[in-house]
Copies of this chain bind each other. A is one copy, B any other.
Amino acid sequence: MEGKKVVVVGAGPVGSLAALYASSRGAVVEIYELRDDLRNVDTTPLNFTKSINLALSERGINAIRSTGSAGLLDKILARTIRMYGRMLHLRSSSGALLQQSQAYDVHDRFQRSVDRGELNKVLLDHLDSLPNVKFFFQHKMTGADFRKKKAWFEATDKNSTAPSDRPKEIEVSFDFCIGADGAHSSTRHHMMKFARMDYSQIYIDCLWCEFTMPPTKEGAFAMPPTYLHIWPAGSFMFIALPNLDKTFVCTLFGPVELFTKLENGTDEELISTFDKYFPGVTTFIPPADLVAQFKRNPHLPLINIKCSPHHFGDSVVIVGDAANAMVPFYGQGMNAGLESVRVLFSKLDQTPNRAEALAQYSAERTEDAHVIADLALANYIEMRSSVTSPLYKLRKYIEERLDKYVPSLGWATQYSRVSFSNMRYSEVIKRSKSQKRILTTVLLAVTGTGVVGSVAGVWLLWTRFRHQKMFGLPWSGR
């Protein structure tokens, strides 16, 4: 990529990382971003482009680590808060408040809560220090010809003193274009005129609204900051992630019907709904403030996007939300996006023919992207209701004990493989399905036939494992 002109569309975390990877391979990088430099504006307006607080986990960290940029990862990690598990806020049958913690991982691995803007700023500052990277903020992509390798951008700078009242359009030639311009990607839109792309977008029946939970009067966190707090309410939920400034960023997720009811109801109805389903929240967010935030902050939809392929020829590839926007319930959206960049460049490094590398990348990554998108959808049900079910807890308990005390089995929960490993998502799901089959057999045997059954179950478990070890592991002698 030495000396090649690489155009990156979008200066979010994923686009910034892509620019960093390209620049470290000697490319001449230009980043075009629709919005203003977020470091120049005091507050990001709370709109479609503002995302909830993010969970940074192994895949994202590994992708940043793999840039090899000294000190970069440390700077980012310093801006994160460790969350070791979920804290469920419930009411007991007597009506008393009940808090239950669930560790994410039996090996004490953790998620990191991070502000999207903070993470983005560190990456942008780092890019600023590189001689072969140039930014073009407030530039809107208006067209692209991916055969001729040209794109057009309109400078939308509203403070411009240019005499013309029409925005200026510039033509940009490139060797390679990386579209990291989000769920409503222009790059994808123009790419679809060239690639025969299968594409689907689905709005799930869920809206979200952000709230801020202030610190206590003493300036401390209102709740323990080492958890992702969840108020599961069956068909909807409220969650809270800690921020460096001792606030929590909270989000209400619920079906359109619930939002419509709350929007059309009285303030008292909103407060009583919170008190009924999200016990304790109005202790930390005063009721009047809660109502004001619900009215002021937008109620936004969630979209699930799948497409294939992710590239066209040797000229363009889309990554991150542009290629696979997912619902936020596995905390994997940004992690998957950052990982895409790492996988993309490892293919480009390995295969000199770029068209071939992109085709390989696309085939592998679309498979993984579809898997994590589906898992994220399924996790909404887990977070808002399954987390409280005895069967769910039992399975988690057994799987974690197997992981911890019989490490040679290579057993692990799906959650830990997704969040704390770099295993391909498609491989994670294969292993989980296999584990689930085995565990279901055992659980059925245990619960169904008592002692006899459990002996049989253990035997079955054991023989299956031996089988798995013999055929699945390199050191098994076969």
Contact = CB atoms under 8 A, between A and B. Distances in A.
A42 interface: no
A198 interface: yes
A201 interface: yes
A200 B200 contact: yes
Contacts of A184: 193
Interface in A36-88: none
A199 B201 contact: yes
A181 to B, nearest CB: 14
B201 A198 contact: yes
Nearest to A201: B199
A196 B196 CA distance: 24
Nearest to A184: B193
A301 B196 contact: yes
Contact of A200 (B189, B193, B199, B301): B199
Contacts of A189: 189
Contacts of A201: 197-200
A189 B197 CA distance: 15
A298 to B, nearest CB: 14
Interface residues of A, number: 12
Contacts of A196: 203, 301
Contacts of A193: 184
A288 B29 CA distance: 51
A197 B184 CA distance: 12
A406 interface: no
A96 interface: no
Contacts of A162: none
Contacts of A452: none
Number of this chain's copies in the assembly equals 2
Interface in A253-310: 301
Contacts of A199: 199-201
Interface in A419-469: none
Contacts of A202: 198
A148 B301 CA distance: 21
Nearest to A198: B202
Contacts of A301: 196
Nearest to A202: B198
Nearest to A203: B196
A468 B197 CA distance: 45
Nearest to A303: B196
A184 B184 CA distance: 17
A118 B466 CA distance: 72
A267 to B, nearest CB: 27
Question: Which residue among A189, A197, A200, A301 has the maximum number of chain B CB atoms within 10 Å of its CB?
Answer: A200
Nearest to A200: B200
Interface in A159-197: 184, 189, 193, 196-197
A197 B303 CA distance: 10
A201 B201 CA distance: 9
Nearest to A142: B142
Interface in A196-218: 196-203
A465 to B, nearest CB: 41
Nearest to A193: B184
A302 to B, nearest CB: 10
Contact of A198 (B197, B198, B203): B203
Interface of A: 184, 189, 193, 196-203, 301
- Counting from the closest, the 5 A-B pairs by CB-CB distance are A200-B200, A196-B203, A198-B202, A199-B201, A196-B301
Given A198-B201, A200-B201, 13 more contacts: A184-B193, A189-B189, A196-B203, A196-B301, A197-B201, A197-B203, A198-B200, A198-B202, A198-B203, A199-B199, A199-B200, A199-B201, A200-B200
15 contacts: A184-B193, A189-B189, A196-B203, A196-B301, A197-B201, A197-B203, A198-B200, A198-B201, A198-B202, A198-B203, A199-B199, A199-B200, A199-B201, A200-B200, A200-B201
